[in-house]
Chains A and B, each alone.
Chain A
Amino acid sequence: MQTISKSKSTRWALRDVLLLAFVAVFIGFIFWVLGPIYNLLSAALTPLGLAPFANELLIGGWMMAAPLASILIRQAGAGVLGELFASAVEMLLGGQWGVATLLSGFVQGIGSEAGFAVLGYKNWGWRGIFASAITGTIVTFIWSAFRDGYSSYHIGLLIALFITRFLSLLFFGGVLVVAIQKLIEKAGVLHRD
């Protein structure tokens, strides 16, 4: 059982930071294992011109660290920090995107965190989680419009990409996170003082 510090101060407690970091690493690891599958899928879709869909399908998984960190720590900034930790670990271990990982991680963290922020950091249940999936989709899509050249796509493809990303986030960042939260609550492994 772990006690999460409930203080609303801006100072981060060591145990909270460590929990955040470990959760980020585990999530990162689970999806790092998917790397080869992602590459295969993306290679298969490349001649059809549909390679971005491989990215859209899995982005929800890469972004899971943020909502999980938020619901576990329940503090402003947890989502951004969780995602930053995940990307920092990936970068320090020599992930294929290098420094760009850190930039995307930061944007994804902000996107996911925005959902909880919109609800005033009061709702950590399914409402907050789904809000974060929605804001996460919008913010990262704007980022993709610049970074991945999405702004030059045909509107039909753009809508299809957006829907795919939204579904991915809805499942990994929404449905799955809610289910995980239920398991955690049932098991009673987190104690808030």
Chain B
Amino acid sequence: MNPLIKFTTVMVIALELTFIKSVTLNVIVIGVSAFLYLFLKLHWRQWLWLFILPLLPGLGSWFSLMYFGTGDHEHMAWIMLSRVFAYLWLGGLFTLKLNDERDVFLATLEQKAKLSATFVYALVGVLNFMPAVSQEMKTIRVASQMRGQTLHIWQPQLYFKAILAAIRWSQNLAEGMVSHGFTEGAARTHLQVVTIKRRDWFLLIIILIAFQLLLLPNWY
């Protein structure tokens, strides 16, 4: 399935879950996601990740709703606990495979969703800078420690120095991109043309319709 189609499906359902108050529905979403994970051949670490990660925010909401809720708060506590799991398991269908599919995802955004090439390539460029960003933050901290100052996250100097680096790098990267032939707003040709299969569109529509049908019994 094309990652952008998958992303759209997941986003629409996640947005709807935000407004639906139903434990049953959340559990159905978790169940269906779990079923799909069986085909994705997950590493055992990823399974662990899926179970542990939602536990903290889920229980956090559960406890505070039990203690400090009003009205039908016990029901709401269970909704929140299951919703956090549903969010993460649903989103994981997209994000756990993202490392392999990132390039296709970004290419689809540009070629099919017609997102401006400036934004897509800026995102690609910046993602490649991530290791450098991490290194630069270390450098900033160490450099100030050499002068006997420790920069904390509540000090504007830390951000100022980060912004200086951002200014310098964005300038360099913009020049680099232009000198390699990137022209703003120009029509581009593509070495790898992305096609979205008709089957993917079909699946998107079927899944979304099926989800809306699930809402019919009014269990929220």
Contact = CB atoms under 8 A, between A and B. Distances in A.
A105 to B, nearest CB: 12
Interface in B26-68: 53, 56-57, 59-61, 63-68
A20 B163 CA distance: 10
A69 B128 CA distance: 21
B69 A99 contact: no
B126 A12 contact: no
Given A98-B95, A99-B91, A15 B171 contact: yes
Contacts of B208: none
Interface string B57-89: 101110111111111110011011001000110
Contacts of A163: none
Contacts of A171: 154
Interface stretch (B130-138, B189-197, B212-220): B130-138
* A interface SS class: helix
A2 to B, nearest CB: 5
Interface string B116-152: 1011001101110110011011000000000000000
Given A146-B19, A152-B72, A17 B119 contact: yes
Contacts of A33: 137
A22 B134 contact: no
B137 A29 contact: yes
Contact of B64 (A23, A98, A153): A153
Given A15-B170, A26-B162, A152-B70, A42 B56 contact: yes
Interface in A30-52: 30-31, 33-34, 39, 42-43, 45-52
Most-contacted residue by chain A among B18, B68, B136, B174 (CB, 10 A) = B68
Interface residues of B, number: 76
Given A18-B173, A26-B133, A30-B158, A148 B126 contact: no
Contacts of A21: 122-123, 125-126, 170
A154 B70 contact: yes
Given A26-B133, A98-B88, A100-B87, 18 more contacts: A18-B169, A21-B122, A21-B125, A22-B169, A23-B163, A26-B159, A33-B137, A45-B60, A46-B60, A51-B57, A92-B123, A93-B130, A97-B87, A98-B95, A153-B65, A157-B64, A176-B156, A184-B160
Closest 8 CB pairs of A and B: A51-B60, A98-B91, A49-B67, A22-B166, A179-B156, A18-B170, A26-B162, A152-B76
Interface of A: 1-2, 11-15, 17-23, 25-27, 29-31, 33-34, 39, 42-43, 45-52, 54, 61, 64, 68, 72, 85, 88-89, 91-94, 96-100, 102-103, 146-149, 152-157, 171, 176, 179-180, 182-184, 187, 189-190
12 contacts: A2-B170, A14-B118, A15-B174, A27-B159, A31-B153, A42-B57, A48-B67, A51-B59, A68-B163, A92-B102, A97-B87, A190-B167
